[in-house]
Structure formats: structure tokens, C-alpha cells
Amino acid sequence: MHQFRDIRPLSILSGEGQRRMSSLSRQWLLVTASGVLTTVMIGIPSQAQQTPQTGPALEFDSAICGGAGDLEVEFLLTDAIGDPVHPEYTYVLADVDVQIGPESDPWGDADLAGTLQPGTELPPPGEGSLSGTAMVPGDVGRVGLKAEVDRKFADGRGDERIVLQAETDLDECAPVVPEQAVEVPDRVWGPYGGKRTIPTVQSPSGGQTTHPSVVRVPGGWNGFEYWMAHTPYPSSNSAWEDPNIAASNDGVNWVVPTGLTNPIDDQPGLPGPYNSDTDLQMGPDDTMYVFWRVVIPDALQERIKYSTSTDGVNWSAPAEALRSSMRVSRPLSPSLLYEDGRWVMWAIDILGSPNRMVYYEGGSTPAKANWSPADAVSLGPMQRDKEPWHLNIFKDDTSYIGLLNDTAIGSTGRDGDLLFILGETPLSFENSHFSGIPRIKPTMHDHLYRATMFTDTEFGRPGYRVWYSARMALNPDVWNIQQTFLLGAAVNGAPP
């Protein structure tokens, strides 16, 4: 399929956040009795709509307008409502094609990300649907999707091919120009990033990894200006999800410092204990700290551990910063700061849904005896059907700034976006209500995950340099770290 060379990034809309953009939304297309052609139902109800036939149905679901002027268009494929389960056959998606442009002369196609992919079996009636999302320019006017579905019989009878089509007209989506006079979360945006090869202990050495946390030390620290903590995660295998350290002098090319042996801590992985969620920080006395989460399923315990180094190569034995019972709290994705002579920490408590952000105050060391009970943190309204998942926060002058990774409610990172968050106090934040980075990067990622950033400039414009982790939902999953730059940091201490 054609890939657009000039796709602009999604950005964050103010006010109402996302909007659904077509009067033809949720149009159903039902299979005719022949099982070959489809009846297109747009706008005016028909007899066929009132009495649905059995079989799969394709629908245009929504079109979300991003502040950079692109549309995130979603289609759904599902068994017709009320259709009984038929053990003698299944439906398998054979082919799918997206067309964009005027109805009289479609001028291009677009890649489709998500579960609506050839070879995928359609869930039984009542058990969900296949979804596909296409990123298209905001001025195309029209989008259509054709799906070819095979009815496969268990007894070896010949397959039947069903062709489904859905199309809709789209309102124009115009870009939003970031404000340069004042920083507000819904004006921070940027394109999806470029893949970075991060060295890991697995083979190949530049394998899949996630949970990046980057510290930049201007002028360098022990030979490198950039330092990263991360957790290798090939094919979502928790046996490798241990804290690793890498270093760089440009933020692009990463190495393991000579003499360092990764990982800093090693756990066996599920069903036993496993590590996750690294956070790297500079502390007092020119000492670097790496924090991470440890889950011990058999003991129903979770722990935040840390290790320290004065050279980036030799790391102390792991110590505990926090211990919690899974019956009481489950702090995920810790984000720490050393300020005013003490350590503070934010995390996402995932005990019970919706998840909530919490805040702890510690002492001059991160030792577990020094931490206060958790306080609830206000984030403002979340995206519809979303809850907090992972986060990273840094302090810029007097403001607390970060990226919040959300997730579909009740899931572990599904449909994750990255929301810009801003707080004038540690306990009260506002969020952007929309992803500052496009979730869909064709062939590379369709779910965003934990990210790390700091203020910087690029081509003379202030903003935020970002490394984010992301997943491509395949079987098995593929994880990688991407690097990008978000515009919009006009104040809050951005470099001149």
C-alpha cells in the first residue's frame, strides 16, 4: 500500500478534545442473501437495516481531527448483532483496502493499522470486533474501506468470499498552530519519532526494549552526555524485562559503557517475580540513581527498588524504596525527583479501575523508611474510556511537566496515547486530552507506551526532546524506542 511521505503529526485539540466528524457515522453495511455482494446503507433507514441479515458487518466508526491537520479514521468489522454462533464455520479476513479521495476519482490509498488485518479471524458474535485505523490528510474529503472475508467451513466445504464496503464523507480537518506566547497542554504536539537502536543483553544486541528514562548532563558525566535506563522486552517476554543502562553523546547512537554488565537486577519473569518500569535520575553528590518496579506474584507484593552509581559502570546492590501489598496498593511506573533536599515520587496506582495517580514525599535518601503515605493527584478529565497507565515527570522552573501514557479502561496498555501534563503543584495537573504524538506509525507501532523528555530547542524553536516506547500488536508483540521533538515550549524555562 501507498505510504504518505508528507503526513503531518497529530496534535492536541483544546476544549472538547476529539470530535466525531461525519453525519454518516456508524453506518452499517450488511451482507445480501447471496453472501457475495453487500448492501450499502447510508443515512436513510431501509428495510434491510430494520431486519439485519446474518453474517459479518463493516462500519465506519469515527474520524478524529488532530491539531496538526490529520484525521485518525477508524473502521470496525464484527458479526451482525444477534447473529448466533455457528460452530460449523468461521469468518477470516482475507484482504482489506483503504481508498481516500473524491468518490469519482479516488487518488490514493492509506495503510491500515490495528487488528483489521488479513489472516485475522473474526471474533464470534458478542465477543468483540476487529478494528482498523488509518491516518489520512485532513483535506481528502472522503474515505472508504473494502474488506474481503472468507467463510471457512470445518467440514472442508469450499470457502465462500464475502465482500464488504464502507465509505463516508469527511469534514475538513485544519491544522492548529501552537501558541508561542503561553504554554498550555493542548498546544504541545509533534510527529511520531524515528526508531533508535538501544543495546540490550539479548541477541541480537540491538533488540526490542521499552520503559525508557533519559537523563541529560550538559558537558557530560563520566564520558557521556545522555544516559538511559530501559527494560528489554522481546515479544513481551518478562524474563528479559530487567533494568539496563545505556549511554550516548548525541541521544541517537547508544552504547553500553565499557566495563558495565547489564542488567542491574535480574528476575526470572512470569510466573515468578519480574521487573519493569525504570526511572533514571541524578541525585545529590553527583550520583546517578536508577529506580524500577519489582512484582512478586506468589507473595502478592510489589516493590520499588533502586541502585546508585558515581561512574555509570559500577552500580550498588539493589535497595528498597517502597514495598506494598497488592491488596492495599499497586504503584506502577514510578517517576522520581530530588528537590529541596528530599526525594518525591509519583506513580499510577492500578489497584481497582479506573487507575489513579498518586504522590509520595520521601527523605534525603530514597530508603523505604522515609516515605509518606500516598496522596491522590488530580489529573482532570481523561480521554473517553481511558485511564492513566505510565508516566514521566520533570520539574521546569516552578512547574511540573510530563507525559502521561493512558490505556483503555481495564487493559494493560491497549490503545495507549501520550498526553502532555502540566502542574503548578505536585498534587494538581491538567492534561491535554489528546495524544501529542500519533499513535499509529505504519509497520512500527499502534500503541504508545512510557516516555521520557526534557526541554530543548530544535532549529531554533523551543520544545521538548522525547524518547518514547511503543508496541506493534502482532503475534508476538514487537517493542521499540522512538525519538521525536514536541513543539510548544515557549515558557517554563525552555532554552532561549
- Contact predicate 247/224, CB 8 Å: yes
DSSP run (H or E) holding 230:
strand 224-232
Domains and CATH numbers, the chain: 27-169 (2.60.40), 185-487 (2.120.10.10)
Residue 426: CA atoms inside 13 Å, Cβ hemisphere, count? 18
pLDDT in tens, 285-333: 999 999 999 999 999 999 999 999 999 999 999 999 999 999 999 999 9
For residue 150, list its beta bridge partners: 92, 161
- Contact predicate 275/243, CB 8 Å: yes
Q: Is the confidence at residue 24, as pLDDT, over 70?
A: no
Q: Is the confidence at residue 232, as pLDDT, over 50?
A: yes
Q: Is the confidence at residue 11, as pLDDT, over 90?
A: no
Banded pLDDT at 178 (limits 50, 70, 90): very low
Q: How far apart, in whole angstroms, are the C-alpha atoms of residue 224 and residue 222?
A: 6
- CA atoms 23, 46, 125, 158: torsion sign: negative
Contacts of 429 (CB under 8 A, 6+ apart): 357, 377, 378, 379, 380, 400, 421, 422, 423
C-alpha Rg value of the chain to the nearest Å? 24
For residue 71, list its beta bridge partners: 65, 136
- Contact predicate 412/435, CB 8 Å: no
- Contact predicate 388/382, CB 8 Å: yes
pLDDT at 182: 40
What cell numbers appear for 62 in the block?
469515527
Question: In terms of residues, how long is the chain?
Answer: 496
Q: How far apart, in whole angstroms, are the C-alpha atoms of residue 159 and residue 153?
A: 7
Q: Specify the pairing of strand 113-114 against strand 56-65.
A: unpaired
Q: Which residue has the higher pLDDT, 175 or 422?
A: 422
Q: How far apart, in whole angstroms, are the C-alpha atoms of residue 335 and residue 400?
A: 12
Question: Mean pLDDT throughout 213-231?
Answer: 97
Upstream peptide bond of 462 is cis (omega within 30 degrees of 0): no
Least confident interval from 150-154, 384-388, 400-404? 150-154
Q: Is the confidence at residue 65, as pLDDT, over 80?
A: no
DSSP assignment of 184-206 equals -GGG-B----EEE----SSSSTT
Q: How far apart, in whole angstroms, are the C-alpha atoms of residue 388 and residue 92?
A: 34
Q: How far apart, in whole angstroms, are the C-alpha atoms of residue 411 and residue 128?
A: 14
pLDDT at 176: 55
**Among residues 107, 27, 106, 100, which one has the least CA distance to residue 70?**
100
